[in-house]
């Protein structure tokens, strides 16, 4: 699905990631951890084609990211749902429209999908906030809306970058349950987080692989968690 082979990434003369190899198998659940600035976000960006590696190969759905045309990158993004810490909403659209955005840009029939949209909005607990605008939402509501937007196209992979970074413990557990539920539906999940308590809590519900970026390299973590 997503494969990184001896990947390195340098920027501004400095090497951020080095010799990273990883295969995200279908239906797997990964945590990516490490200190702030370790390169978690950079690695996630490599996984959805937002960055091109300076060394090694990144294969997205069996195509080398260097060979992808711009339209191909757009098609990959429809198969990979991304949840950012800052959510990245369009503030002039309502929550419902923001959730439906991937459908809109892919030329989907919003009318035909309205039942799914309502169900999804209900699933993330935002039915009564559907007509609100993003700046009116709390941190937890924003993250749930971002998750709903990430899954509306029923992607194969969901990448979440610090999804619980701006929410309290109770809300982070709620978000985690939603992600676990998606994984049980067969979705491949990778969550970048430095919240070890979240990882420990997740292990009670799902078999997750925990990876750590340390000194620019990827390591398998677990014993200390």
Partner 1 sequence: MSLNVSAISSLFSSDSQADKVVPPTGFTATLTLFSAAAMSFLAVFALALSLATGRLAERWGAELARTSTIRISAPEGQLLAQTEAALRVLETTKGVLSARALTAEEQQALLEPWFGPDLPLEALPIPQLIEVIEEGDGFDAEGLRLRLSAEAPGAVVDDHTRWCRPLVRAATRLRMLGLFSILLIGLATAAMITLAANAALAANTQVISVLRLVGARDSYISSAFERRFTLRALSGAAVGVGLGCLAVFLLPSAQATGGFLTGLGFQGWHWLWPAIIPPLTALVAFAATRTAARRTLGNMR
Q: CB under 8 A: which stretch of 7-15, 78-86, 182-190, 199-207 binds partner 1? A: 78-86
For every residue of the chain, DSSP letters joined together read -EEEEEEEEEETTEEEEEEEEEEE-TT-EEEEE-STTSSHHHHHHHHTTSS--SEEEEEETTEEGGG--HHHHHHHHHHEEEE-TT----TTS-HHHHHHHHHHHTT--TTTTHHHHHHHHHHTT-GGGTTS-GGGS-HHHHHHHHHHHHHTT--SEEEEESTTTTS-HHHHHHHHHHHHHHHHTT-EEEEE---HHHHHHHHTTS--EEEEEETTEEEE--TT-
Q: CB under 8 A: which stretch of 105-113, 173-181, 203-211, 213-221 binds partner 1? A: 105-113
Give the nearest distance from C-beta 120 to partner 1 in angstroms. 14
Name residues contacting partner 1, limited to 144-183 (CB under 8 A). 149, 153
C-alpha triplet 155, 161, 165: angle, nearest 5°: 130
Asked if 11 interacts with partner 1 (CB under 8 A), we say: no
Give the nearest distance from C-beta 48 to partner 1 in angstroms. 8
Asked if 122 interacts with partner 1 (CB under 8 A), we say: no
Write out the two tokens for 191.
């969550």
Asked if 114 interacts with partner 1 (CB under 8 A), we say: no
Cβ proximity to partner 1: between 66 and 200 the closer is: 66
Cβ proximity to partner 1: between 106 and 214 the closer is: 106
Give the nearest distance from C-beta 163 to partner 1 in angstroms. 15
Name residues contacting partner 1, limited to 36-55 (CB under 8 A). 49-52
Asked if 66 interacts with partner 1 (CB under 8 A), we say: no
**Binder to partner 1 among 70, 112, 135, 215 (CB under 8 A)?**
70
Cβ proximity to partner 1: between 62 and 91 the closer is: 91
Query: Measured in whole angstroms, how far is the alpha carbon of residue 101 from the centre of its chain?
Result: 16
* Residues engaged in binding partner 1 (CB under 8 A): 49-52, 70-71, 73-75, 77-78, 82, 84, 88-90, 92-93, 97, 101-102, 104-106, 110, 149, 153
């Amino acid at each position: 699905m997503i494969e990184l082979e001896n990947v390195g990434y340098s920027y501004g003369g400095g090497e951020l990631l080095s010799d990273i190899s990883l295969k995200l198998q279908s239906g797997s659940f990964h945590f990516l951890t490490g200190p702030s600035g370790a390169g978690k976000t950079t690695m996630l960006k490599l996984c959805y084609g937002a960055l091109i590696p300076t060394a090694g190969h990144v294969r997205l759905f069996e195509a080398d990211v260097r060979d992808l045309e711009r339209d191909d990158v757009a098609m990959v993004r429809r198969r990979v749902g991304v949840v950012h810490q800052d959510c990245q909403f369009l503030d002039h659209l309502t929550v419902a429209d923001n959730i439906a955005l991937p459908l809109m840009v892919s030329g989907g029939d919003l009318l035909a999908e309205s039942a799914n949209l309502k169900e999804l909005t209900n699933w993330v607990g935002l039915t009564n906030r559907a007509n609100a605008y993003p700046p009116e939402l709390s941190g937890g509501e924003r993250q749930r809306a971002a998750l709903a937007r990430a899954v509306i196209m029923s992607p194969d992979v969901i990448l979440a970058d610090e999804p619980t970074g701006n929410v309290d413990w109770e809300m982070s557990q709620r978000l985690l349950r939603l992600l676990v539920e998606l994984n049980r539906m067969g979705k491949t999940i990778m969550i970048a987080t430095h919240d070890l308590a979240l990882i420990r809590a997740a292990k009670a519900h799902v078999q997750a692989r925990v990876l750590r970026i340390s000194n620019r390299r990827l390591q398998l973590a677990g014993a200390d968690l």
